[in-house]
Structures are given as structure tokens and as C-alpha cells.
């Protein structure tokens, strides 16, 4: 190959790599970092940096598996921000920062899931009642909506009272197109599988912390989406109320 052709080829390769980076599209090259909410950028007051998650616990995984049971009776005891952060990390926390990989596996690392937490009045020490989105990159929360929405959420879940009793409910939603764009129709089943992985991680983490939870699949999708003010492309898949079990 002549030197002119070699230089032209080199210039084309450099352009292909550099243009998306310079244009700010570099996040597209790292699917794990494509988890910013699509709503308006939050102000600094709306951001809550969570305490660092623990990667070492007090109880063996086997014990947690043996003990986990669905819990539907909760005390009104508030949760600490530390514990809320640990639960969210278990569901979708980043465990390989450079590649953006998470606690739960994801088909082709397409990461279709979004995790929100519905917080009741006085339910989490240090934060107001409202709806917060978990942002895995940065392990933080971003406020999305204000007010105690637990009663409305319980009504949308066919009146299941454990949702209004629990201090928080974690909601796992999906933007399925992120996965079907790569896998077509088959992506639908992958997204459901991923919600199961993330949900089970959270259930096990709750048990390990001495908390209780129950996975909820029975709810009206459109009502839950409205209560959470979800972006149009996101569908709620799983509700997980968490609290101190009432003995």
C-alpha cells in the first residue's frame, strides 16, 4: 500500500474514534454510563450522594438464601440513608467502574433497568418524602418528585397495604428498547430476566441487613408510571417495599 493510502486510512480511523468523543457521545461507547435520567438535569440540591456501599457483610450468602422469606408486615421505624444506599447498590450498583458493569448481569451490557425509590414522610433519616432515582454512576440519588406517594402506590397495586406501611418501596422499571435495539424481540425476555436478577439481589440484601421485603408484580402499570412520573419510554416491572419486619 502506498504511503498516501496508509495516511488516509490512519486519518479515517482517528476520525471514527475521536468524533464521538469530542462531540460528547463518548458515553455511547460505555453502555454502563448511559444511565442518566432523561428528564431535565437536576440541580445540586436535588442530588444526594449515598454513603459508600459495603462489600463485606456479617452473614454468609448461604444463610441469607436459607432465611429469605416474603415479609408483608413492617414497623414504622425509619431507615437510614446508609441502608437505602446499600439496597440500591445491591440492585444495580456499579462494581467494575471502568466498564460500568453492575451487581446484576445484563444481556450484552445493555442495562435497560432504572431504579427509583418511593420514600414516605419521615421514613428515611435525612431526606424528604418523594420519589428519587438511583444513579449507579456516582452512587447517588436524584430527586424526581415530592410528597409521600405511598398511599397512591398501594392503591395502584390493587390496595396491597404493605406498600403504604413500608417506609420505602423500590421500583424497578425498564426502557426495553435499550435491549431490543440489539436483540430484537428476544430482548423482551432478557429485560424480564434482568428485573428478576436485580429484584433478587435487593431481596437478599434486605435479608442480610435484617430488613424485610416482598416482590410485587400485581399493579396497574399506567397508574404506577404516573405516580412515579416515569419518562414515557419506561415501564414499571417490579415493586419492592422494604422495612423493619414487625415480629
Residues that bind ligand FMN (CB under 6 A): 69-70, 72, 160, 214-218
Shortest CB 74 distance to ligand FMN, Å: 13
Distances in Å between the Cα of 157 and the Cα atoms of 37, 103, 143, 219, 240 are 24, 27, 23, 4, 11
Shortest CB 239 distance to ligand FMN, Å: 8
Closer to ligand FMN at the Cβ: 131 or 157? 157
Shortest CB 217 distance to ligand FMN, Å: 3
- Three-state secondary structure call for residue 101: strand
| Nearest to 216, CA basis, from 171, 168, 180 | 171
Shortest CB 158 distance to ligand FMN, Å: 8
DSSP letter at 245? B
Distances in Å between the Cα of 229 and the Cα atoms of 24, 130, 145 are 27, 11, 7
Q: For residue 170, which phi and psi values (nearest 5 degrees)? A: -90, 135
Closer to ligand FMN at the Cβ: 105 or 217? 217
Shortest CB 105 distance to ligand FMN, Å: 18
Closer to ligand FMN at the Cβ: 72 or 150? 72
Closer to ligand FMN at the Cβ: 68 or 139? 68
Give the residue carrying C-alpha cell 471502568: 98
Closer to ligand FMN at the Cβ: 48 or 163? 163
Distances in Å between the Cα of 194 and the Cα atoms of 1, 8, 115, 189 are 48, 44, 12, 9
Amino acid at each position: 500500500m502506498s504511503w498516501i493510502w496508509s495516511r488516509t486510512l490512519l486519518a479515517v480511523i482517528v476520525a471514527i474514534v475521536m468524533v464521538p468523543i469530542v462531540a460528547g457521545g463518548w458515553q455511547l461507547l460505555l453502555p454502563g454510563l448511559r444511565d442518566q435520567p432523561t428528564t431535565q438535569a437536576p440541580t445540586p440540591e436535588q442530588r444526594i450522594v449515598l454513603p459508600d456501599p459495603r462489600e463485606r457483610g456479617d452473614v454468609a450468602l448461604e444463610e441469607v438464601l436459607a432465611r429469605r422469606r416474603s415479609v408483608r408486615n413492617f414497623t414504622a421505624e425509619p431507615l437510614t440513608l446508609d441502608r437505602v444506599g446499600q439496597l440500591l447498590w445491591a440492585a444495580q450498583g456499579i462494581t467494575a467502574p471502568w466498564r460500568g458493569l453492575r451487581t446484576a448481569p445484563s444481556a450484552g451490557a445493555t442495562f435497560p433497568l432504572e431504579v427509583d425509590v418511593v420514600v414516605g414522610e419521615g421514613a428515611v433519616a435525612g431526606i424528604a418524602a418523594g420519589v428519587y432515582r438511583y444513579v449507579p454512576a456516582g452512587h447517588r440519588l436524584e430527586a424526581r418528585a415530592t410528597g409521600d406517594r405511598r398511599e397512591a402506590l398501594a392503591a395502584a397495586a390493587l390496595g396491597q397495604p404493605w406498600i403504604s406501611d413500608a417506609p420505602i418501596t423500590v421500583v424497578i422499571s425498564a426502557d426495553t428498547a435499550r435491549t431490543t435495539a440489539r436483540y430484537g424481540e428476544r430482548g423482551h425476555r432478557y429485560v424480564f430476566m434482568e428485573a428478576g436478577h436485580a429484584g433478587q439481589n435487593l431481596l437478599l440484601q434486605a435479608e442480610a441487613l435484617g430488613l424485610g421485603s416482598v416482590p410485587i408484580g400485581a399493579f396497574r402499570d399506567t397508574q404506577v408510571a404516573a405516580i412515579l412520573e416515569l419518562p414515557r419510554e419506561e415501564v414499571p416491572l417490579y415493586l419492592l417495599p422494604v422495612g423493619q419486619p414487625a415480629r
